[in-house]
Amino acid sequence: MLASQEEASGANLEIHRWSGIATMSLAVFATISLLLDKRGLYRALLIVTVFGVSLAGHYGAMLTHGDDYLSSVLPNPAADGTVAAKGSDEPDFVLTNTGALNPQQVQDLNVEVRTILAHNCYSCHSETKTKGDLRLDSKEAIMKGGENGVVVIPDHPDKSELIRRISLPKGHKEAMPTKGKRLTEREIKVLKFWVEKGALWPDGKQKSIYRVAQLEPRTPELPAANGDIILPVDRFVNVYFQKNKIGWKPVVNDRVYIRRVYLDIIGLLPPPEKIDAFIADSRPDKRERLAKELLTRNDDYAQHWMSFWNDALRNDYSGTGYITKGRFDITKWLYTSLQTNKPYNWFVKELISPTKESEGFIRGIKWRGTINSSQRTEMQAAQNVSQVLLGLNLKCASCHDSFISDWKLADSYAFANIFADTLLEINRCDKPTGKIADTRILFPELGEISIDASTEKRLRQLADLLVQPKDGRLYRTAVNRIWAQLLGRGIVEPVDMMDNMPWSEDLLDWLASDFVANGYDMKKLIYTIVTSKTYQLPSTSVKEAGDIMANDYKFTGMVRRRLTAEQFTDAISTAFNPMYADSAIVFNLLPKTIDTKLPFARAGFVKNDPFLTSLGRPNRETVSTSRTSQANLLQALELTNGNKFTETLKRGAREWKKKYPTSDTLVTQLYRRALGRNPQPKELNVARKILGPKPSEEGIQDLVWAMALIPEFQLIY
């Protein structure tokens, strides 16, 4: 229910789901043991069941009420009002001013007041939901008040109902907000100060309370080289490191680099003989040579990057819509585009103003039965194009004015009209408003769309406008996605919120301008990144998954990440035994020559199944622009008890036993193919104990299973 109706997803959902299933099973066994009068077993199972209920309930509450549902009700550690304003060392005029405010102070105060109201009050008192007939999202609405009268009396906070309500003690039946966190002492003081100063609300265009990134491209000046900091990427990172007092660490060794760059560019483990040759190579530019060589392996490159773009363009080989012809794949077009390294501007143009082979992206999914207005195909196109290509989330603004940005419902419908055959009526929270939407692009600075033109012509106009070099947002979004894919975290995070502050604005802007200057060449962009000293720094880790999104995140190098579902599957196929050996399951949508080249079916081209799902492959009914790198309960269950993995180990064990009759030879070959090195003496001794004097099939299975679960195999360092 949480997944389908609340659109919940991620590790918390999977833990909730499987702990709930496990709890149900335990409860059944406890009941059976009680009926069989096995009291000891019953009590033990009952205790574990209670723990399961608590665990499942805890994660269920996190999904429905937020990760902070427990901490949000605890006393605020900063409730004494001593918090400094916005991290500034300068005096806070809200706390110190006793006289008149200058125009800038009025503007700053107004932005802060609207921010407090937006984050704490709009969920109940805005255009979307108006409890007590009170709205707090505009000057006129605030001054009008609600069904109980005026709530703000300028100059008199002591007589203003708004101030009284937010100042009431927690638990009082009239205290506001009724849900979620209470306002901090400082927030209450800001609102009191605002009313005391006359509830000032400047006329004219108001400054946004949300950051809005610059649309136009910018080419920052290249910082000076310094010692071995020569390449442009490294020069910008060096400025960032100096500013944040971060030192450069020595780059990773050859063994780590070759494995990292193989997996990142073509998605495969490097063969042991390639590793040996690379380590023995004494040429100073061998890493640049390796990157170039891998980028010329066009089929391998395309087969790996298909998964990345399948996620983003919600392209799949089976699932909702294909049987009813309510959805179309773009597999053949996408593969050819990657294999030929189609320039990104043409890639985008053919997605928006499509050929027959590429139209599946903007056509969306035609759902059967009655659906929400925000999921009609035209609105799906608007949401998907804005999210994937512009790093902009319109999903909230497809039902109502957004709570997390300045985008309005009218903006979403106006953009969706470009994709529609007939003009759309605006629906607010699935209720018709009687208003017909305009037709316009999200960023009018890029140009206008002909309202009276045919749909085909409008799409052509939209494509031409979006790929202009002056649309800096399109190219910043693209390079940020590639950076995130290669280094584990974007320069801007989340990657679909490009209005967020980048950790290095100059680096992002330079990469985007260089991408345009190099003919929108994705491979050149990847080469620029993977040959930088920055990419070659040792990987780092985060204590909690949420730390990677923190506002105070500090970049120090690539974020250590887990192999994707496809990378892990292909690694098992390469090192031990093909998981998908039958080339017939690779779809006929690709050139026929592809099947004959593959010793096994690459996981990126097979239909999704429980094994791939457990390792994080999404269902692709909606756009997916990032995958979690955290291990979860579902993955653990599948790798320990899943039928697909178990059968692969069984088949492989039979073949390895025939080929390597002695334990030492078998172990050495397995370590070289899986980890790119010989086993250490301790590892060899442990493997001998597992295998015995003569390898058995069961022993081989156990050894491979153990190796597949160690961090050295599962992680990209």
Same domain, 331 and 454: yes
Same domain, 391 and 258: no
Hey, what are 509's tokens? 């802007």
Same domain, 459 and 332: yes
Pairing of strands 425-428, 431-436: antiparallel
- 494: preceding bond cis by omega (within 30 degrees): yes
Same domain, 438 and 324: yes
Provide the domain limits for residue 147. 97-196
Tell me the C-alpha distance between 144 and 130, whole Å: 13
Q: Residue 115: its pLDDT value, please?
A: 80
Using one digit for the tens of pLDDT, what is the confidence trace for 100-110? Answer: 888 778 777 88
Task: Answer whether residue 187 is part of any domain.
Answer: yes
Hey, what are 248's tokens? 């450069």
Tell me the C-alpha distance between 639 and 444, whole Å: 51
Select from 580, 599, 561 the least CA-distant residue to 645: 580
Residue that terminates a domain, selected from 446, 466, 486: 466
How many C-beta atoms lie closer than 10 Å to residue 198's C-beta? 12
Tell me the C-alpha distance between 511 and 527, whole Å: 12
Same domain, 281 and 324: no
Task: Answer whether residue 113 is part of any domain.
Answer: yes
Same domain, 183 and 58: no
Count structural domains, the chain.
5
Residue with tokens 């419908």: 413
Tell me the C-alpha distance between 212 and 205, whole Å: 15
CA angle in degrees (0–180, nearest 5) for 156-181-402: 85
What residue spans of 498-546 are helical by DSSP H? 505-517, 522-530
Q: Residue 88: its pLDDT value, please?
A: 37
Residue that terminates a domain, selected from 171, 196, 221: 196
- The answer to whether the beta carbons of residues 703 and 679 sit under 8 Å apart is no
How many C-beta atoms lie closer than 10 Å to residue 97's C-beta? 15
Tell me the C-alpha distance between 290 and 531, whole Å: 10
Task: Answer whether residue 530 is part of any domain.
Answer: no
**Dihedral over Cα of 14, 19, 20, 22: its sign:** positive
Strand pairing partners for 427? Answer: 432
Q: Residue 60: its pLDDT value, please?
A: 78
DSSP 225: P
Same domain, 709 and 658: yes
Q: Which residues of the chain have pLDDT under 50?
A: 5-9, 66, 68, 71-90, 584, 593, 595-596
Task: Answer whether residue 487 is part of any domain.
Answer: no
Task: Answer whether residue 180 is part of any domain.
Answer: yes
Using one digit for the tens of pLDDT, what is the confidence trace for 593-633? Answer: 454 466 788 999 999 999 999 999 999 999 999 998 888 88
Q: Which stretch of DSSP H or E encloses residue 426?
A: strand 425-428
Tell me the C-alpha distance between 372 and 383, whole Å: 14
Task: Answer whether residue 128 is part of any domain.
Answer: yes
Q: Residue 457: its pLDDT value, please?
A: 97
Q: Residue 343: its pLDDT value, please?
A: 98
Same domain, 326 and 426: yes
Same domain, 282 and 314: no
Residue that terminates a domain, selected from 173, 196, 219: 196
Same domain, 321 and 427: yes
Tell me the C-alpha distance between 120 and 516, whole Å: 42
Tell me the C-alpha distance between 50 and 23, whole Å: 8
Task: Answer whether residue 233 is part of any domain.
Answer: no
Q: Residue 2: its pLDDT value, please?
A: 57
Determine the 3-state secondary structure of 52 from DSSP: helix
- The answer to whether the beta carbons of residues 46 and 72 sit under 8 Å apart is no
Same domain, 340 and 415: yes
What residue spans of 531-642 are helical by DSSP H? 565-575, 593-597, 610-614, 633-641
Task: Answer whether residue 368 is part of any domain.
Answer: yes
Same domain, 137 and 64: no
What residue spans of 488-583 are helical by DSSP H? 505-517, 522-530, 565-575
